[in-house]
Structures are given as structure tokens and as C-alpha cells.
Structure 1
């Protein structure tokens, strides 16, 4: 069997691909101008890509089966808890915020 994060990377990439199609359709029907729609789509996609990249790195390194478990490992290094917290809060805000802007533009 594949390492845990190789499986997670694969599944997440498939789900994020579908999410990108949803964002695209929302942007097409949004009443906001192109610049607003671009940012509302780009921010979540950047976070989607960064999440998949993180999963791939953990899969290659085989360093954890839970990236949110303390201490936060990346290979032989330990990442600061504050860094992980800020990243996760930014990810949630970026993904939810982008979707919210697009939904507001459609409704």
C-alpha cells in the first residue's frame, strides 16, 4: 500500500479538481467584475495547490500520518506550531472567503 499522504494527496487532488470546476462556474455567473472574480478564484486555488503539495511532500518523506499532530514534522525538522496555525487559518479564510465572494456575486 502507498504511504498515508500519497493516498491523501491523490484523493485531495481529485476533490480539488472538482472544486475548481465549481469555482469556474460560479465566476462565470457572478455579477462582480473580472478582477474580483479572478481573486475570488485564484486565492482558493493557490491554497488547494499548496495543500496538495504539502501532502505530496509528506508522502515522499513518509514522515507522518497526521500533519496536524504535534510536534509538526517535516522530514527530520520540527515546524513551529504557530506557523501551522497561521497557515491553517489562512487556508480556511482564503477558501471560504473566495467561495463566499463568488456566491454573493451569483445570488
Structure 2
């Protein structure tokens, strides 16, 4: 356990995990309140999405922390690898919360005002998340098999 606290990358990821988990709990309360107020006992689509995403990203951030702590790479490399996925996790949660507040859509791409911008963001998101974790995974395997 101490290993997780001795690395900047792991501390950042664990801090983000705690924040994402709290947001997941709070959006869960929001979801419950929406359900209580709805005739159909349903929350808006993106309120559900924000809740699930925040919880999922909380645990994903913990996974990033573990792989960063166990990586053979320097803490600087691991920190640079951890930050992009965490940033995009946070942006996604914020986006879903915003969509949940507006309740105007159940498909943000279909109803987008600028699909090309959204596609660009999704492309960058994919590279950032997969690229960041790839660095940590390679670092883990290098340490495991070195």
C-alpha cells in the first residue's frame, strides 16, 4: 500500500479516484431525486450516464494508480502517462453532468451542434486514454519480467 503513496503518478490517480467516486455518489443522489420526481420513476438519460461514468472512472483511476506504482518507468514518465486519461475522464463526467442538467438529448453526437468538433475530441480522447495506459502497461510488464 505504501508503494501507492510513494509515487506522484499514483497519488494523482488516487486523488482523482476519490473525487470521481464522490461525484458518482452525488450523481447517484441526483438520479434518485430525479426518479422520485418522475411519473415514470426514471432519471434523465445523461443523469444515469453521469452517475455510471463517475463510478466507472473512479475505479479506472485506481487501476491507473496501481499500474503507475508498479511501472518500471520514472515517476515523471508515469505522471505524464496518468494525466491525459484522468483529464479526459473528468471532462467526460463534466460533459455528462451538463447534458443531464439540460435533459435535451439522449444522444449527444446525434444532437450535436458541431459533430466534427465532437469527433475530433473523441479521437484525441481515444489516443490520450489508450496511449497513457499503454505506457503504464508496458512499464508494468518491463518491471514484471525484468
Name the one with the larger helix percent.
2
1:94 to 128, 136, 139: 128
1:85 to 104, 112, 119: 119
Give me the whole-angstrom Cα distance separating, in 2, the residues matched to 1:103 and 1:92. Answer: 16
Instruction: Give unmatched runs, 5+ long, in structure 2.
Output: 1-41, 142-146
Partner of 2:140: 106
Q: CA RMSD in A?
A: 0.8
Instruction: Give unmatched runs, 5+ long, in structure 1.
Output: 73-77
Give me the whole-angstrom Cα distance separating, in 2, the residues matched to 1:102 and 1:88. Answer: 21
Contact 2:45/2:106 (8 A) holds in 1: yes
| Structure ranking higher on relative contact order (CA contacts 8 Å, 6+ apart) | 1
Give me the whole-angstrom Cα distance separating, in 1, the residues matched to 2:80 and 2:116. Answer: 26
Partner of 1:75: none
TM-score, normalising length from structure 2? 0.67
Shift, 1:20, TM fit: 0.3
> Following superposition, which runs of at least 4 residues in structure 1 exceed 2 angstroms of deviation?
none
Question: How many residues of Structure 1 are paired with residues of Structure 2 in the alignment?
Answer: 100
Give me the whole-angstrom Cα distance separating, in 1, the residues matched to 2:77 and 2:51. Answer: 30
Name the one with the larger strand percent.
1
Shift, 1:98, TM fit: 0.6
Larger Rg, first or second structure (1 or 2): 2
Shift, 1:6, TM fit: 0.3
